[in-house]
Structure 1
Amino acid sequence: MIICTVPRITSNLQHHESNPYSNLNDRRIIISLLHKNRNNPKHVQSIHGHAIKTATSQDPFVAFELLRLYCKLNSINHATKLFHSTHNPNVYLYTSLIDGFVSFGSYTHAIKLFNQMLRSHVFADNYAVTAVLKACVLQRALTSGREVHGLVLKYGLGLDRSIALKLVEFYGKCGVLDDAWKVFDEMPERDVVACTVMLGSCFDCGMVEEAIGLFNDMGTRDTVCWTAVIDGLVSNAEFNRGLEVFREMQVKGVEPNEVTFVCVLSACAQLGALELGRWIHTYMHKCDIKVNPFVAGALINMYSRCGDIDEARTLFDEVRVKDVSTYNSMIGGLALHGKSIEAVELFRKMNKERIRPNGITFVGVLNACSHGGLVDLGFEIFQSMETVHGIKPEVEHYGCMVDILGRVGRLEEALDFIARMGVEADDKMLCSLLSACKIHRNIQIGEKVAKLLSEHSRIDSGSFIMLSNFYASLGRWNNAAEVRENMEKGGIVKEPGCSSIEVNNAIHEFLSGDLRHPERKRIYEKLDELNYLTTLEGYSPATEVALHDVDDEQKELALAVHSERLAICYGLISTEAYTTLRIGENLRICDDCHAMIKLVAKISGRKIVVRDRNRFHHFEKGECSCKDYW
């Protein structure tokens, strides 16, 4: 039916060629056909061709409809050509193309087009201003956004509600909270919507308590507002507080929506709260939340990051409609759990089903290749990013390739790869290679990498610790101390090791040497028992991983009370025999704890799943799924 519509255009237009009202009739015909074929790019192009032949494409209404559809269909090149072929484009055409650039991710082009509009003496109305502010928000373009704000004041558009809301969001995203408050305070109506936007700005600037204060002072709070608070807390790593707000939301009788559940599932994923995540999954059914690709991705991510990769895969297979985010969640989960072949197979299936991968997809599948030591396949997939899929590799993708080479001991090649790649190496990439040098005991290349890392302009606490570890493993205490001193001078605080375990729907957190837990006596008794039993199995503390220049006895004491050991001991005394223990760890697991946990799994007959900063480790019968490389 759609196919036979296009040929009719010619006859209709020919019929009206001599009619003095042909432009009006042609406009109606073209716009009607565009509406009927709005989801078919080829038909839209065909209709556009007929409009050009009859000069109808210059009609402002037809041009606007064509431009709007091209942008909606992601045909940004066609939209741009149409715009530049239009004589004296009006503000509606400018706004439509600015919106198109924003949707396509071309924020700089959107801002440039807005400036071009001003140079062409086309008056910027509130829709055009709101469109360009979206670009400034997403680009974090503070200077451009301030210029737009100046224009708003000059044109007297400051009282427009949509512009004021977007300005509050813009200043929040750019980290200028004082200016966000000024715009907010000048708004004549500060209803629940305006307060919610201001909440988001506070959270974007890391001002958690200010956001909570504003939330508590609000008279009316709807689902969107509650969700914004949960999302803000989760984004600021306040996962437990986010869950507390969700519980309060239930007590208040406010019904959550799918976005609320996605935020809550993200908190569960970060905490490793599997049982709570399962309960929320069940509660979603009671709230009649449909498992669309957006929700499915959050559920798959939650199950994967909480250590139940089998449940994640079952859910993935049950989802009827899958998009790129659904596949990304599953591929990333499989990679985290070391299921490299399955991840690659899923990537191939995704391509067969013509679901276009994005940059996140390639981070997942390249990580899978790294964890599986699939060097040749990794390079093949990496090269296909640009040649087949038209995606330019980012620093994360280059980092995966360095990790792949480091894993198999091709350290010189990895160093050359860093020197030849088109982007600057970040500290995570250098840390990965330094760790590989430590594992493969290559001091020569390790020192080169250590020098690069120490000279890096941006380096976080984890990178400093890795550098200190490397020198300490060589017994070069002066260098290790120098790294620590530089860390202190830079005001960088070492992130304390923290491990968590979920027991009876409650999350129990432990620091190294923790004495706060009510069951601390039984925990340390169990720890003493494990130390004795693992020693009988041949365990000997790897004192070379301890960071301090002290004697071996002191190092052994420091290693013996690492947080993951305390969490495991609590799990052993609090759960039934043979129950799987799932531990969350905020740092990379150390060599000594890794060796001990293998023996604990063997002695206890338990499966112990540990999620550290890099990946999952499945300990069972004295072995680990990572094959002792992580």
Structure 2
Amino acid sequence: MVCTLPSLSLYMHPSLNIEQKHRLHRSWKPSSEILRTELFHKFNSPFELQQVHTLVIKTGTPLSALPLSRVASICALTPRFAYAQQIFQQVGQPEIFIWNCCLKDFAESDSPFDAILLFYQLRKHNVCPDSFTCTFVLKACVQLRDLFHGRIVHKFIQKLGLQSNLVLQNVTVHLYASCGKISDAILLFNKMPQRDVITWNTMITQLVKRGYIDSAYKMFLQMPDRNVRSWTAMIAGFGQCGKPKEAIDLFTKMEEVGLKPSEVTVVAVLAACTDLGALDLGSRIHEYSDKNEFKRNIPVCNTLIDMYIKCGVLEAALRVFEGMKERTVVSWSAMIQGLAIHGKANEALELFHQMIQTGMKPNGVTFIGLLNACSHMGLINKGRWFFASMSRDYGIIPSIEHYGCMVDLLSRAGLMQEAHEFITQMPIKPNAAVWGALLGGCKLHKKIEMAKVAMRHLQELDPLNDGHYVVLANIYSEAKQWDDAARVRKLMRNKGLQKTLGWSSITVNGIVHEFVAGDETHPQSQEIFKVWNKLLAHMRLKGYIPNTSVVLLDMEENEKEKIVFRHSEKLALVFGLINTSHGETIRIFKNLRVCEDCHAAFKVISEISNREIVVRDRNRFHCFRDGSCSCKDYW
């Protein structure tokens, strides 16, 4: 009968003397395969390696039976480096090949600096590196953003005469670019006698990361050959720098040349669709993802959820979320935030409880969604509870965003004094967003004195933000303090500030149409005005009375009505009624907060036209249906 081999730890136990170990060894009759599996692969230190080495010699087993890569990794960073060298020399394998395997493992591990340390060991013990050695060490330097040691390796490459090696050149360019030395990277790039698609992609990706989008695009156009990664890097770059339209245009060109998007491409395009509100393209990308089994990819699903939420199709976002077999905290947080901005606070809170029941731990973003839900629906006590629960129950230290949410919650509810005290007691310095939330509450509840307090801080923290001055001027105008309003507007002119132009957009048949207040430039302007006048007659019969208080200028009432009737969101809505099928949902995007009159008008129009109207403004979504809004008029 063949004995089972005892563990290596028993054979090496310090309580056994040499004779006992020999007797234990003679009692074994293991097969060579068991010997290799159970013993030769389990040493964890140079001392254990030495004992296994002794056993190999005594049993007459070939030294090549030892796992040489493990020998290298055990001895690489210890004083027994030379001992490992002796073993390699006896086996007869090229020593540098074995050390390179070890370098590769180190470079790709959680401790890439070990690769740099091993490189110095090799030099100390006169082991001549080759191109692979330098590649792995440079990759470790890239991981660590370690330009100091990277430069040393770069000089060594030149000393070895390896500077024409394309792989090494690519990694070197990547090192300089990823460490922020873009000019050095470009200099190396320009000197390269040959380049491949990896070279070009590396430069484009790094230029995009550093914000040099124009230089990246110029280089993209110069590429002799482009692969999916090239297009994806550029599409993502446009999206990240606030040019979603250019990102989508480039994606269209990528499709025209016959390349199929990867999962990374899909994420980049969906992000651009989210920013632009391009629901049609986003839905088509969703279909493509499902056909190509991308629905198992968590980042793709998370981006789809975000896209549908921000395009106003909450039901589609929920379907994606519910169809996910695996969810991350990002998935849950995105869905909670989506429900919040769509006016479904109770559903957002319920989803949070489901999240906790699954064992998923929330993060700071989760609580921003919860606090937004409470703020949008006036759930003051729940908001206070969640804010306290962050640190008490989950150890999350509130960030400036959480404090801003709390100020917004209290200010919206009219608790201006409590909001101000909350700000003054913050353990971190309040920023412009925090004071801006207080100023917004002052406008809503007509608190002039508190608005002055908020504005003093905003003039210090964010002196060039036109929005704050506009809000203060509006507060004065609503109070009929025309001189004060004029003084604020004059101050804006003196600072060279102009009020941000409000605009609204609507997409019909894949084409985005933009409108500004009083817009007469659109080809259908006259038809829009004609249909509006007919619609207005029906609205008046339903009890609609124009709210001209939103016009904060001292003028005649009929002039104010003309201005109110030409607001950009109204023009976009009428255009949508004209150019979409009966029963089709109309989706409008506005860059500023929707005004009180438009909000009231849209409720009436949704009932008259029997249409669902979804408006995304700067703060949230409003879903108008059958004469009411999802925000329940708390906004």
TM bracket, shorter-chain basis: 0.7 to 0.9
Correspondent of 2:177 among 141, 149, 168: 168
SS class of match (1:455): helix
Correspondent of 2:411 among 393, 406, 410: 406
**Structure 1 residue 467 displacement after superposition:** 3.6
**Structure-2 change in CA distance of 1:95 and 1:263 (3 Å):** closer
**Structure-2 change in CA distance of 1:210 and 1:384 (3 Å):** same
Query: What is residue 267 of structure 2 aligned with on the other side?
Result: 262
Kept in 2: contact 1:299–1:312 (CA 8 A): yes
**2:350 counterpart of 1:345:** yes
Kept in 1: contact 2:588–2:616 (CA 8 A): yes
**Structure 1 residue 453 displacement after superposition:** 1.8
Query: What is residue 327 of structure 1 aligned with on the other side?
Result: 332
Query: What is residue 518 of structure 2 aligned with on the other side?
Result: 513
Correspondent of 1:597 among 591, 598, 602: 602
Correspondent of 2:579 among 574, 578, 587: 574
In the aligned structure 2, how far is the partner of 1:9 from the partner of 1:395? 56
**Structure-2 change in CA distance of 1:576 and 1:97 (3 Å):** closer
**Structure-2 change in CA distance of 1:577 and 1:457 (3 Å):** closer
In the aligned structure 2, how far is the partner of 1:549 from the partner of 1:285? 57
Query: What is residue 213 of structure 1 aligned with on the other side?
Result: 218
Query: What is residue 564 of structure 2 aligned with on the other side?
Result: 559
AA at the equivalent of 2:42: I
Kept in 1: contact 2:508–2:576 (CA 8 A): yes
Once structures 1 and 2 are overlaid, which stretch shifts more, 597-606 or 489-498?
A: 489-498
Once structures 1 and 2 are overlaid, which stretch shifts more, 147-156 or 566-575?
A: 147-156
Correspondent of 1:386 among 374, 380, 391: 391
Query: What is residue 53 of structure 2 aligned with on the other side?
Result: none
Correspondent of 1:29 among 42, 46, 57: 42
Kept in 1: contact 2:378–2:634 (CA 8 A): no
Largest Rg, 1 or 2: 2
Kept in 2: contact 1:402–1:414 (CA 8 A): yes
**Structure-2 change in CA distance of 1:296 and 1:93 (3 Å):** closer
Query: What is residue 368 of structure 2 aligned with on the other side?
Result: 363
**Structure 1 residue 152 displacement after superposition:** 7.5
In the aligned structure 1, how far is the partner of 2:491 from the partner of 2:209? 29
**Structure 1 residue 382 displacement after superposition:** 1.9
**Structure 1 residue 364 displacement after superposition:** 1.4
Query: What is residue 105 of structure 1 aligned with on the other side?
Result: none
SS class of match (2:423): helix
SS class of match (1:376): helix
SS class of match (1:610): strand
AA at the equivalent of 1:598: K
**Structure-2 change in CA distance of 1:392 and 1:190 (3 Å):** farther
**Structure-2 change in CA distance of 1:522 and 1:368 (3 Å):** same
In the aligned structure 2, how far is the partner of 1:288 from the partner of 1:441? 54
Q: How many percent of aligned residue pairs carry the same amino acid? A: 37
**Structure-2 change in CA distance of 1:161 and 1:451 (3 Å):** same
**Structure 1 residue 534 displacement after superposition:** 2.9
Correspondent of 1:425 among 406, 430, 454: 430
**Structure 1 residue 395 displacement after superposition:** 1.0
**Structure 1 residue 327 displacement after superposition:** 1.2
In the aligned structure 2, how far is the partner of 1:561 from the partner of 1:221? 48
**Structure-2 change in CA distance of 1:317 and 1:151 (3 Å):** same
**Structure 1 residue 600 displacement after superposition:** 1.7
Unpaired runs of 5+ residues, structure 2, are 1-5, 23-37, 46-70, 78-102, 125-132
**Structure 1 residue 612 displacement after superposition:** 0.8
**2:593 counterpart of 1:588:** yes
SS class of match (2:308): helix
Q: What are the Cα deviations for residues 569-615 of structure 1, in whole angstroms up to 9, with x where unaligned? A: 11111122232211111222122222222222222222211011111
Kept in 1: contact 2:147–2:176 (CA 8 A): no
**Structure 1 residue 358 displacement after superposition:** 2.0
**Structure 1 residue 184 displacement after superposition:** 4.2
SS class of match (2:351): helix
**Structure-2 change in CA distance of 1:96 and 1:478 (3 Å):** farther
Q: What are the Cα deviations for residues 450-469 of structure 1, in whole angstroms up to 9, with x where unaligned? A: 22222224653444433443
AA at the equivalent of 2:401: E
Query: What is residue 626 of structure 1 aligned with on the other side?
Result: 631
Query: What is residue 316 of structure 1 aligned with on the other side?
Result: 321
Once structures 1 and 2 are overlaid, which stretch shifts more, 443-452 or 246-255?
A: 443-452
In the aligned structure 1, how far is the partner of 2:398 from the partner of 2:550? 35
In the aligned structure 2, how far is the partner of 1:418 from the partner of 1:64? 56
Alignment of 1:150-189 (within 5 A): 161-171=170-180, 181-182=186-187, 184-186=189-191, 189=194
Unpaired runs of 5+ residues, structure 1, are 1-6, 33-58, 66-89, 101-109, 137-144
In the aligned structure 1, how far is the partner of 2:429 from the partner of 2:39? 55
Once structures 1 and 2 are overlaid, which stretch shifts more, 263-272 or 536-545?
A: 536-545
Kept in 2: contact 1:168–1:184 (CA 8 A): no
SS class of match (1:194): helix
TM-score (normalizing by structure 1): 0.76
**Structure 1 residue 223 displacement after superposition:** 0.6
Correspondent of 1:192 among 186, 190, 197: 197
**Structure 1 residue 394 displacement after superposition:** 1.2
Correspondent of 1:441 among 422, 441, 446: 446
Once structures 1 and 2 are overlaid, which stretch shifts more, 329-338 or 382-391?
A: 382-391
Query: What is residue 614 of structure 1 aligned with on the other side?
Result: 619
AA at the equivalent of 2:422: F
Kept in 1: contact 2:305–2:334 (CA 8 A): yes
Kept in 2: contact 1:91–1:125 (CA 8 A): no
Query: What is residue 294 of structure 1 aligned with on the other side?
Result: 299
AA at the equivalent of 2:10: S
Kept in 2: contact 1:523–1:570 (CA 8 A): yes
**2:238 counterpart of 1:233:** yes
Kept in 2: contact 1:469–1:547 (CA 8 A): yes
In the aligned structure 2, how far is the partner of 1:476 from the partner of 1:64? 79
In the aligned structure 2, how far is the partner of 1:259 from the partner of 1:236? 17
In the aligned structure 2, how far is the partner of 1:197 from the partner of 1:492? 41
AA at the equivalent of 1:234: G
**Structure-2 change in CA distance of 1:233 and 1:10 (3 Å):** same
Q: What are the Cα deviations for residues 377-435 of structure 1, in whole angstroms up to 9, with x where unaligned? A: 22222222223322222111111111111222211111111111122222222222211
Once structures 1 and 2 are overlaid, which stretch shifts more, 482-491 or 522-531?
A: 482-491
AA at the equivalent of 1:162: V
In the aligned structure 2, how far is the partner of 1:197 from the partner of 1:493? 41
Query: What is residue 354 of structure 1 aligned with on the other side?
Result: 359
In the aligned structure 2, how far is the partner of 1:60 from the partner of 1:553? 88
Kept in 2: contact 1:402–1:417 (CA 8 A): yes
Kept in 1: contact 2:106–2:112 (CA 8 A): no
Q: What are the Cα deviations for residues 164-192 of structure 1, in whole angstroms up to 9, with x where unaligned? A: 21432443xxxx86566445435565432
Query: What is residue 11 of structure 1 aligned with on the other side?
Result: 10
Q: What are the Cα deviations for residues 76-129 of structure 1, in whole angstroms up to 9, with x where unaligned? A: xxxxxxxxxxxxxx99989966669xxxxxxxxx9xxx9xx99xx99x987677
Query: What is residue 415 of structure 1 aligned with on the other side?
Result: 420
In the aligned structure 2, how far is the partner of 1:132 from the partner of 1:348? 44
AA at the equivalent of 1:435: G
In the aligned structure 2, how far is the partner of 1:384 from the partner of 1:363? 13
